[in-house]
Amino acid sequence: MFDVSTIRDDFPIFNRKIHGNKRLVYLDSAASSQKPQQVLDAMDRLYTHDYANIHRGIHELAEEATAQFEDARNRIADFIGVQDSTEIVFTRNTTESINLVAHAWGRKYLNPGDHILLTEMEHHSNLVPWYMLAQEKGLTIDFIPITADGLLNMDQFNILLNKQPKLVSFTHVSNVLGTINPVAEITALSHQAGAVVLVDGAQSVPHLPVDIEHLGVDFYAFSAHKMCGPTGIGILYGKRVLLEGMNPFLGGGDMIKKVTFEDFSVNEIPYKFEAGTSAIAEAIGFGAAVDYLNAIGMQAIHDHEKEVTKYAYEQLATIPGLQMMGPAADQRGGVISFELDDIHPHDIAQILDAQGIAVRAGHHCAMPLHQRLKVQASTRVSFYLYNTSEDVDDLVKGIYKVKEIFGRGDV
């Protein structure tokens, strides 16, 4: 059974108090999740018992560290339903994964006049790399619009496919709207139109079961730090045939087979894209995070988040002057962004923080989406496996405190 109180005990940070004596209500997991003791212990064990650089050494410590590093890759592959772990490339984060595709695949295969198809709900990490490439190569970028309730307009998507885009790149779950996009459907339609598909999974892999083989995507990117793992490490999944046909991203050690005074030859995948010393402890922490989530069960985590999100949606809907962005609770992940009267989100976040409640305020690295919605900024709350209905109740009380301080209506 899913026991949230036992889960919370795994996270040392929930033992601390905020501003002296306030219970920590952490509602910012869409930015970065908290870390369980199991992950911290795995990284500590490496540094205190097994640490050495990987792949190059033949001494015992190097071989042990290498085995743990590659075992983490295998476990991450299993976690997302990938049979061939050489299709799993370690990167720094989701952003670097997308940039890798833009540089190593896009520069080689996209030509002036080609179309790239994105959506209006993308994070900057799935916008700016394509803007940079479009400026460099004379590409055209089109956008799938969103509907009034924050869903992708699939009719317009089908029309835009008539332009025969070479790449369709989109988020699995919006980090602002919480919208869960139909990845398998979009991918199948994109492939029929001849496009390669890249999916930003930063907000999906931590929260719901993901099976890459079932989704059928060509590239899929996500980060450890949003799924109970450490910062500084992420994943790019790519189909073998695509990765093998791509140019290297960075040059240096480990990504080569041979170097002479005249030339070099590249290593096999995935090492071809992993230049230099990797984030060794972080990869092992990533593997421990995957083990932790697997032990609980991703479907159980998703079901719990749906319950908390539904409760939060219902409670927030009762607050006068609060307007939520995005679809209904049953069509979103554990993210709710909102406006409150004419109060700036930074003021809301600061007052909530004084009560021990951590939320996000601003444009959440999605400025074009906020422009599309005619919203300067928003307040975002996001939920994870350790959040409870009590957290939601404290949030609601905190919002009423904000309204009281600003004298906004009947509180």
| Residue 328: predicted pLDDT | 95
Residue spans in the chain of domains classed CATH 3.40.640.10: 40-295
The pLDDT assigned to 1 comes to 73
How far is 94 from 127, CA to CA, in rounded Å? 12
SS3 of 69-136: HHHHHHHHHHHCCCCCHHHEEEECCHHHHHHHHHHHHHHHHCCCCCEEEEECCCCHHHCHHHHHHHHH
Classify domain 4-30+297-406 by CATH number: 3.90.1150.10
**How much of the chain is in helix, strand and coil states, percent to nearest 5?**
45, 20, 35
pLDDT of residue 166: 98
Going by their DSSP bridges, the two strands 360-362 and 378-382 should be labelled as: antiparallel
| Contact criterion met (CB below 8 Å) for 219 and 236 | yes
Name the pTM for this structure: 0.97
Q: What per-residue confidence (pLDDT) applies to 410?
A: 63
In the predicted model, is pLDDT for residue 254 greater than 80?
yes
Tens digit of each residue's pLDDT (9 = 90 or more) over 22-60: 999 999 999 999 999 999 999 999 999 999 999 988 999
pLDDT for 56: 82
Closest CA to 87 of 98, 100, 72, 74: 74
**Distance (Å, whole) CA 158 – CA 273:** 34
Start-to-end CA distance of the chain, whole Å, equals: 38
Tokens of 332: 């979103």
* Chain CA centroid to CA 202, Å: 1
Element containing residue 178 per DSSP (H, E): none
CATH 3.90.1150.10 domain range(s) in the chain:
4-30+297-406
Interval 198-214 mean pLDDT? 98
CA of residue 326 relative to chain centroid, distance: 18
Residue the block writes with tokens 């004084």:
354
Give CA–CA dist 399/312, Å, rounded. Answer: 12
Cα 205 versus chain centre, distance:
7
CATH number of this structure's domain 40-295: 3.40.640.10
Phi and psi dihedrals of 35, rounded to 5?
-115, 130
Catalytic amino acids? Answer: 365
Cα 354 versus chain centre, distance: 28
pLDDT at residue 411 tops 60: no
- pLDDT for the residue 151: 98
* pLDDT, position 100: 98
| 3-class secondary structure, 362 | strand
Task: Quote the radius of gyration of the chain (alpha carbons, Å).
Answer: 22
**Does 352 have pLDDT greater than 70?**
yes
CA distance 390 to 312: 10
Do residues 39 and 224 make contact, with C-beta atoms less than 8 angstroms apart? no
Nearest by Cα to 360 from 346, 342, 340: 346
- CB atoms closer than 10 angstroms to residue 353: 17
Across the range 179-199, mean pLDDT stands at 98
**pLDDT tier at 408 (50, 70, 90 boundaries)?**
confident
pLDDT surpassing 60 at residue 331? yes
φ and ψ at residue 38, rounded to 5 degrees: -60, -35
| Tokens linked to 154 | 């699939």
